Each structure stands twice: as structure tokens, then as C-alpha cells.
A and B are shown apart, each in its own frame.
Chain A
Amino acid sequence: MHRPTILTAIIVALALLGAACGDDDTAGESDATTTAPTDDGVVQGDFPVTIESAGGTWTLESAPQRIVSLSPMATEVLFAIGAGPQVVAVDAYSYFPEEAPVTDLSGFDPNVEAITALEPDLVVIVNDANELIAGLTALDIPVLVSAAPADIESGYASMAELGVASGRIDEAAAAVESLRAEIDAALADAPRTTARIYHELGDSLFSASSFGFVGAVYAEMGATNIADAADADQSGFPQLTEEYIVEADPELIVITDQVGYTTDDVLARPGWGEITAVVNGDVVVVNADIASRWGPRLPQFITAVADALAGIAVPVS
């Protein structure tokens, strides 16, 4: 009869654990309530509106006032289009802008209970982890899947979509317009180049190809992205073979500030000594957040890349 005893003990332990987690969630909720919607702007839009995404088709009867965002990109956009006061909670990695109500919610491993405890009237997510869409749908909570845009143009479209969903259509249109102007200006100022570029995401040699909006920035400047040849299924983020990188001979190597190694480490890699970018020391570091998230800070990334391109030894026109 040992087994039932142990099982009972485990069940009791799990129940206690669940209760403890429940307490956490309640605490999160009360935190969120302190930043509750204090609507300072006029919510426009002809509600009810219908939103359509991979999260299903939803009709919002009125402008959502308790938005939960599990997408750092969507968080940046929501705040940029004036919907910030309607946002009650954002995921742990939504640390921009500073006033975003960060919680320990996770977009990678979301917990439906923790989300519903916040009583959201709209949940914005990047992808459907842990059957999240099904769970929220069962509870009749509207879900908007705001996936990472594949290129710059579809980034504007997802901003507009968030504007419709949050009842900030005019602000979203204005934000798109000014962002478009900024991006166009940054691209216009950027040198035109045919340089071969390698954007490294980590030392497993994952890279950003032109099929994602990060790599698309290089293509906009005319550069050749060496990852494109490896991205047959257009995932946007292929893993390259080291031999290929050396053979492709990039003239500029871009790494981010979250990779855990430095430009010197890249320059010192065995077998990389003959790469043009390494010979000329053209390995640059960019801020990982602005170089991996669609949002109002994208012009900063373009400017950073443009500066790097202007400085490399390979001639640009």
C-alpha cells in the first residue's frame, strides 16, 4: 500500500503548489489594477469591430480596456499608438517602453489561468504556445495573433491591425505614417551597397535572412544577405554551416549585444581569418532588442546598419 500513500502525498503537494501559484497570480492582478486604465485619450473606431487573425475571428463590442500583451513587439506598438493606458499587463520581455506594466507572464510558455486572472478583454500573442488560443477561446476571451512581420511593409499592416483592435485607428495611422517617413528617411540616408552581409544571431550560427524584417533591412540597402541561399523554406532565420559562411566571404558581420561574446571573439575564430570582414575588422554589434523586434525603434537599427556600412572598407556608392 505504499504507492497510494506516495500518490496521495504527491497530489497534496501539487495542490499546495497550485495554491501558491494562485496567490502569485492574485498578487499580479492587484499590481495590474494599480496601473488600471485611466483613459486619457479618445478611443475611436466604430465598435463593434471584427478582428481576424490566426487566433480566430472576434467581434469586439467596444474598445478593449484590459489588454494583455504577450508580445514585446505588440507592446511597443500599443504604447506608440496611444493604447498604453488600455494595457493592463505585458509579458516579462516587454521591457520597452518603461511604463509598460511588466509582469512575469510568459509568451513562450503561457499559462491560461494566470492570463484569465487579469480579466483581459483582449489578449495579443505572437504564436500559439500551450494551446493558448483554444484555452482563451473556451473562456470567450478575444485573441489577436500579431506574428512577427516578414518584411517592413507587413510591419505597418500589423501596426494598423493593432490600431483597429484597440480603437486607436487614427493614432495608428499617424504612427505608421511617421514611422514610414522615418524609415524611408533612414533608408534614403543609408549608403547603397552591394556588400555581402552576415547577421549572426548566436554562435550556433543562426542568421537573419531577407525573409524576415530584420534581414529585409539589408536587402533594402541593396546588400546581399549570405543567409538567403540557406533559407529555402523562407523561415527568416536559417542555421548556417560554418564552411558556407567562410566560403560566402561576408564583407560585414553583424552580431547583437546579447550573444555572450564579442567582436574580438568573432575575429579570432579559427578558419575565419580569410573572411574579408574579419581581415578588415568589419564586425559590428547592434542592440539585440531593436534588431529583433518590429516597432517604432526600427529606424535606430537602420541607422546603426547604415553607419556600419558607411564605415566598412568595401566601397559603397
Chain B
Amino acid sequence: MTSTASAAAAEPESATDLAVGRAFRLPAAALAVGIVAVAAVAVFSATQGAAGLPVGGVLSAIFDRVPMLGIDSTLSERQESILFEIRLPRMVLGMLVGGSLAMAGAAYQGVFRNPLADPYLLGVSAGAGLGAVLALGFDLDVGWGPFDAVSAAAFVGALVAVSLSAAIARGPGSSPATLLLAGVAMAALFSASQTFALQRLSDTRAREVLSWLFGQLNTSGWEQVWVLGPYFVVCGLILVLHRRHLDVMRVGDDEAASLGLDPARARLVIVIAASVLTAAAVAVSGLIAFVGLVVPHIVRLLVGSSYRAIVPLSALFGAAFLGFVDVGARTVLSPAELPVGVITAFVGAPFFAFILWRGKAVAA
């Protein structure tokens, strides 16, 4: 705590400077690693899958879509529709979800000064789960726009749970500990309601809900990418612009206030942006565990404890991580599917344990 306090105090800045100053200064090496990782995962993911599309054919089909290259696709029409309507949208969705969860996780860890914080902390997961169970159980047909009923209900349920947590804590701006505990209470209440509702469902329906709860990236084409994309851009931008507030808030509310920052207001904005982003990710992919908790820590171990770097790099590394892991979900049991949430923990936990074993200290 003393070392982080001195690190932040060593860079006193005015409030306006905090908001926009040095907005995109990142450690170049880590940034390069992140971009290369995303690119490598993209190529790997595009060429792997249950349908054994030839690698050369995949590349030719993709370059065929790039104008003025003069390369013709060697894939059949069915293979092309597998690639462009199933594999690529799923890959992009996985990356967007991974980036969203990791970025939201980093923001929560900063706001709550708690290394155990993850995007589902304030009841998002339980609220979304309850929404999904109710939508399936009551055959709600309330989908609006590109959201189907389950996604819409999950989105609403997640936001209701977070709002209740905030209301109990008398505003998201109140002390982090109060908000945290309110979130725990709401999560417990919503989980219990969800379990109760689940038991009232028929077996087919219960199975649908369960596989949704485990997290899945089975897409319906590009639709869910267009749903999540705007949330990723807008909320991500808000979080990136507030990353310096997170650095200052680490030293404590009083010190942050003395540096000219309104900690309650900053916390309000960050919690809302992270929660909305998480709710949108949950609505399209269900509950994918571990990404939001672990990726920010891995980034932190690479680049140090400044949120200026952690928040944007978490988006990159989260995207690469979930993109990579989803290849496993699609291929390990091929042609059967393995729930992606199983692999995130299966791959992520030992890796994270290894890093911890190497003796690095973890802090928020």
C-alpha cells in the first residue's frame, strides 16, 4: 500500500489533466505483445474448427474478399458459409466478450481496491441468470431489436441487480466496502431466486438454462457482434478515459479528493460503465468465468500496477485469451462442443497459479 501510494503521489496532476492528459501513453513492448497475440489468435482461430476447412482455402476465401488482390476462393459455398457466417463471427464475438470482461474486471478491481473483484461482483451474473431463467420459464417473447428474449431479460436482470446493490449502498459513489457488501447480498438473493425458478422448469428448459449459465459463444451470425460492439466501444472508451482516476483512487478517497478528484463521482461513472459493459457481454454469451478476474492480474504482472496501462491492455489480452480458449471449446471434443467457461478456468487457473508460484505479489 505504501509503495503504490508513493507511486501515485509522485505524479501529481490537475483534475483536467487527469481526464485527458497522456491519454494513450502505454508501455510499447506490452502493447506490441498484446497486438501480436490478438493477431496470432485471430489467424489460429480462423483456420481451426470442427469443420476441417483447408487452411489454404480459408486464407484464399478471406483474401478473396479483399478487393484488388485477385485471389479466388478455393472453398465451396457451404465451406464459405461455415467460415463467414459461423466461424468468424464466433471468433470476433469471443474476442469482444473477452476484452469486455477483462476491461470491466480491471475497472472493478481498481474501484474496489480489491484484487478479488471480478465483473460479476455486484450481482450481474445472478441478475442475468435470473432474467434468463424467467425468460425461458415463462416463454417470454419480449425480444427487442437484435436481442432475443433470453438476452434481453439477462441484460435487464443484470442491470436491476447492480442498480439494487447501488441503491442499498445509497449510490454507487458511496464507500467501496458498502457497495461491495450490498453486491454480495444482492447476488445471494438473485442466485436463490434463480435456483428456485430453475427447479420449476421442465428438464429440457433447465438444460437450456444451464448451458446458457455455463457460457456459450454459439452465435447467430454477426448479429450478436453488432449488439455487443457499440457497448464495447462506448463503455470501453469511458473506462480508458477514467483509468487515471483509478490510479488516484488507489491511494484512498481523502487523498484523491485532495488531488482535486471527486472520488464518488468517478466511482459512479466507472461502476456504471463497467456494469453496462458486463451486462451486454453476459447477454450475448452467458456467464464466462475467470476472464474478468485473471486477465487484469496477468496484465498487471507484465506492466506494473498503473491502471493507465492495465485498463486498455486488459482489453487486448482478454480478447486474445478468450479467442484462444474458444478454439479449444470448438475443437477439443470435436465434433462435440465443450462449454467455453469450462476451458477458461481449466486453462486460466493453472496458468495463473504458475504466475503466483513464481512469487509475484498481487495487488489491486
Binding site for B on A (CB under 8 A): 93, 106, 108-109, 201-206, 229-232, 238-244, 246-249, 256, 258-260, 269-275, 288, 292
Contact = CB atoms under 8 A, between A and B. Distances in A.
Contacts of A274: 77-78, 81
Given A108-B203, A108-B206, A240 B81 contact: no
A238 B77 CA distance: 27
A272 B77 CA distance: 11
Nearest 10 A/B pairs, CB to CB: A270-B221, A271-B85, A244-B335, A247-B51, A244-B50, A230-B336, A274-B78, A241-B50, A204-B211, A243-B51
B207 A206 contact: yes
A259 B330 CA distance: 23
Contacts of A273: 81, 85
A258 B202 contact: yes
For this complex, into which size category does the number of interface residues on chain B fall? Answer: 35 or more
Given A246-B51, A270-B86, A271-B85, 19 more contacts: A93-B202, A108-B199, A109-B199, A202-B208, A204-B211, A204-B212, A205-B218, A239-B336, A239-B337, A240-B335, A240-B337, A241-B337, A244-B50, A244-B51, A244-B334, A260-B136, A270-B89, A271-B221, A274-B81
Contacts of A108: 199, 203, 206
B51 A270 contact: no
Contacts of A229: 335
A244 B51 CA distance: 5
B208 A203 contact: yes
A299 B317 CA distance: 54
B213 to A, nearest CB: 11
Contacts of B207: 201-202, 204, 206
B358 to A, nearest CB: 36
A93 B201 CA distance: 10
Contacts of A260: 136, 139
B17 interface: no
Nearest to B202: A93
Contacts of A256: 204
Contact of A232 (B205, B336, B337): B336
B203 A204 contact: no
B168 to A, nearest CB: 17
Contacts of B63: none
B139 A239 contact: no
13 contacts: A93-B203, A108-B199, A108-B203, A108-B206, A109-B199, A202-B211, A204-B216, A230-B335, A238-B336, A242-B218, A243-B49, A247-B79, A259-B204
B85 A270 contact: yes
Given A204-B218, A241-B337, A269-B220, A246 B208 contact: no
B147 interface: no
Nearest to B78: A274
Given A231-B336, A238-B336, A271-B221, A258 B82 contact: no
Max chain B CB contacts within 10 Å: which of A108, A244, A259, A272? A244
Contact of B218 (A203, A248, A292): A203
A246 B86 contact: yes
Contact of A270 (B205, B206, B223): B223
A203 B139 CA distance: 14
Nearest to A260: B139
Contacts of A275: 78
Interface string B217-232: 0111111000000000
B146 to A, nearest CB: 12
A238 B333 CA distance: 10
B177 to A, nearest CB: 17
Max chain B CB contacts within 10 Å: which of A230, A270, A288? A270
Contacts of B78: 246-247, 249, 274-275
B335 A248 contact: yes
Nearest to B77: A274
Interface string B132-171: 0000100100000000000000000000000000000000
Given A204-B216, A271-B81, A241 B202 contact: no
Nearest to A230: B336
B244 interface: no
Given A230-B335, A271-B86, A243 B202 contact: no
A14 to B, nearest CB: 13
Nearest to B205: A258
A201 B211 CA distance: 12
B87 interface: yes
Max chain B CB contacts within 10 Å: which of A247, A260, A271, A274? A271
A240 B82 contact: no
Given A204-B208, A206-B211, A229-B335, A243 B89 contact: no
